[in-house]
Homo-oligomer: A and B are copies of this chain.
């Protein structure tokens, strides 16, 4: 078996329950590392540099962009956010599976740079579940809910570009699905070429 880990990209509309599914995944499967993003926004109270984010100045960030140091990056309002390539690569080479939880736009950027990425889309069974969850939080105005639903829709339209879709009816089952996907991907012939080559080399000893 090759030792290199898998890059797993997880997306899905806000309200799909990605966070809970990923938390349960980590409880059941310890070989996962999460990528720490880089941002130019100011740290919020309690946020720790290198844990929640790597906090950088706009100049530092733009230099990193120019040096090709990001797997994907984007600007939201006046702030930059990005996934640093180096940290991800290190974890993969150490044999860890790395999970990136990012929006569909960033996800497709990652797939472009790193085609072996395993793309997982998490969605509730019905779109109305998202609306109910947003209303349940009771923190959002009608206008905010409308905007979030529009975004959910935009994200959903990208689901067909993913490898897998997880219907999150039960977050424990969702976590099991992610772990199944990781196990199955590690069994793929394309991820075991070296092993098969070695076996065929051994086989030559038997050939006459």
Contact = CB atoms under 8 A, between A and B. Distances in A.
A31 interface: no
A164 B184 contact: yes
Interface string A158-169: 011011111100
Contacts of A121: 189
A36 B24 CA distance: 40
Interface residues of A, number: 43
B206 A189 contact: no
* Copies of this subunit: 2
B149 A206 contact: yes
Classify the secondary structure of A's interface with B: helix
A175 to B, nearest CB: 12
Given A183-B176, A187-B180, A192 B206 contact: no
Contacts of A195: 165, 167
B199 A127 contact: yes
A207 interface: yes
B153 A123 contact: no
Interface of A: 1, 120-121, 123, 126-128, 149-150, 152-153, 156-157, 159-160, 162-167, 176-177, 179-181, 183-185, 187-189, 192-193, 195-196, 199-200, 202-203, 205-207
Pairs of residues from A and B, 6 with the lowest C-beta to C-beta distance, nearest first? A184-B184, A180-B183, A180-B180, A164-B187, A181-B184, A153-B203
